Amino acid sequence: MSLTTYWLEHAWLGTLPQALGSARAGGTPTEPGVALEVTEDGRIGTLRTGVETPPPGAEVLRGLTLPGLANAHSHAFHRALRGTVQVGSGTFWTWRDLMYKVAQNLTPDSYFALARAVYAEMALAGITNVGEFHYVHHAPGGAAYADPNAMGEALIEAAAAAGIRITLLDTAYLSSGFGEAPNTHQLRFSDGTAEAWAERASALKPREHALIGAAIHSVRAVPAAELATVAGWAEERRAPLHVHLSEQTAENDACQAAHGRTPTQLLADHGVLGPRTTGVHNTHLTDTDIALLGGTTTGTCMCPTTERDLADGIGPATRLQHAGSPLSLGSDSHAVIDLLEEARAMELNERLRSRTRGHWTANALLTAATADGHAALGLHDAGRLEAGALADFTTIALDSVRTAGPPARLGAETAVFAATAADVRHTVVGGRHVVRDGHHTLVGDVPTALSESIAALRS
């Protein structure tokens, strides 16, 4: 039974990555005039192309409509660092010290308020699903809350309040380094052992808008002997498993000193790699690492705006994809929240490194931002405009100062290489408007919600 009909002025219907040479001449054409019916259960019922005028009663979406974007890697509380960590110079490690100070001030209530505002900002950017890499589990000092999952539940409820989907990637974080106990700041991240982590994480339950996955913070934060426990928990539930991987050369050096192998090789030895696993960053890899990740179809989540903000380096995304590692995108520390910029940056970073152009088509970059991103988060029925898929989509203006000019048939190229989050006009989740005409329908004043929730952490 149909609930709503949307008429899409233009729609991007491509979902399969393609090599540059296989794109149709002149770009990746979009479809004009698409009628999309939404069923009562929030899925796409029928989809008709060549509909020149809006059907009677249809909701009209002017611009280019894409499947909802998937933010495959988020730390919601890092949004409070924006601007403040851009003062002066430093390294990833000095940035981390500032991050710890913000983390110490979080409570379940303040985290809900901040995450609700951050997820609303994501909806305004066309994001319909977020992978929240969650490791702030306990009170400062490490004592458990009355509900041991109070912080995770706050994030799940915040996503509901902001109208988007979430995969809560509950994160094992047990040590400060190879063989070292958690430092003072990290005590609230740690469950003590992987078994204790698994017991707590098992109490989290999925719901209509939320899936539960797992994460290994990094090989330095989970002892090698406990990696298999986390991987086994995810395998038993067929849940997504994410891990920060080789973001910094210092991590690689420390792993070599402790175990005589790279982080990727250590993960392989303990059964962590595989098609439901995603390595986040995958920046500093050896040829053997790339072959291991590709050969096991372990995914790669690139976060270019954070990787450049923290001076991490440029990961070998083209080589990883050619080896068999699916690519997804994340905004990570939220230096900006803009998945179009993440897609653009992945291509442009590779151009700077290789001094050649055209490593991915717009079609392939949008696929990383949509279907492959949702798949990395365990949501395989999203990220496509097709019958039976979740009715999650977003519309980008083609008449803004950034996007005006190119023909509409090049809407995909315009979206990836010119548009920004500011060009998002509508976001629909489960067939219902969350953002309409650039305004959030559930959070009335998102900038104020951000300002107030961030200020509360500094008081």
- Sheet arrangement for strand 299-302: 69-74, 127-134, 165-172, 210-216, 241-245, 277-281, 299-302, 327-329
pLDDT over 90 (residue 195)? yes
Buried b (16+ CB within 10 A) or exposed e, 191-223: beebebbbebbeebeeeebbbbbbbbbbbbbbb
Q: Give the pTM.
A: 0.95
Q: Which residues are catalytic?
A: 281, 332
Q: Mean of the per-residue pLDDT values for the chain?
A: 94
- Per-residue pLDDT tens digits for 363-384: 999 999 999 999 999 999 999 9
The one-letter amino acid at 170 = D
Q: What pLDDT does residue 25 have?
A: 41
Any idea what DSSP says for residue 332?
Answer: B
CA–CA separation, 309 vs 91, rounded Å?
10
Structure tokens given for 218: 């990094």
CA–CA separation, 411 vs 394, rounded Å?
13
- Per-residue pLDDT tens digits for 286-345: 999 999 999 999 999 999 999 999 889 999 999 999 999 999 999 999 999 999 999 999
H or E stretch covering 233: helix 224-237
Any idea what DSSP says for residue 177?
Answer: B
pLDDT band at 20 (very low <50, low <70, confident <90, very high): very low
Instruction: For residue 439, give Cα distances in angstroms to 52, 79, 435.
Output: 27, 20, 5
Q: What pLDDT does residue 21 have?
A: 31
Strand partners, 44: 38
pLDDT over 50 (residue 23)? no
pLDDT band at 17 (very low <50, low <70, confident <90, very high): very low
Q: What pLDDT does residue 27 have?
A: 55
Structure tokens given for 237: 């539930």
Structure tokens given for 384: 């496509």
CA–CA separation, 243 vs 169, rounded Å?
10
Query: Average pLDDT, stretch 92-102?
Result: 75
H or E stretch covering 7: strand 2-11
Considering the chain, what percentage of its residues have pLDDT values greater than 70? Answer: 95
CA–CA separation, 75 vs 136, rounded Å?
10
pLDDT over 50 (residue 19)? no
Angle at 401 between CA 434 and CA 58, to 5 degrees: 40
CA atoms within 13 Å, Cβ hemisphere of 197: 34
pLDDT band at 219 (very low <50, low <70, confident <90, very high): very high
- Per-residue pLDDT tens digits for 237-292: 999 999 999 999 999 999 999 999 999 999 999 999 999 999 999 999 999 999 99
Longest pairwise C-alpha distance within the chain:
68
H or E stretch covering 4: strand 2-11
Query: Average pLDDT, stretch 141-151?
Result: 97
Within 8 A by CB and 6+ apart from 37, the residues are 2, 4, 5, 6, 44, 45, 46, 47
- 69, 16 in Cβ contact below 8 A? no
Cα-Cα-Cα-Cα dihedral sign, residues 228, 159, 92, 275 = positive
CA–CA separation, 408 vs 31, rounded Å?
9
H or E stretch covering 234: helix 224-237
Structure tokens given for 154: 């706050």
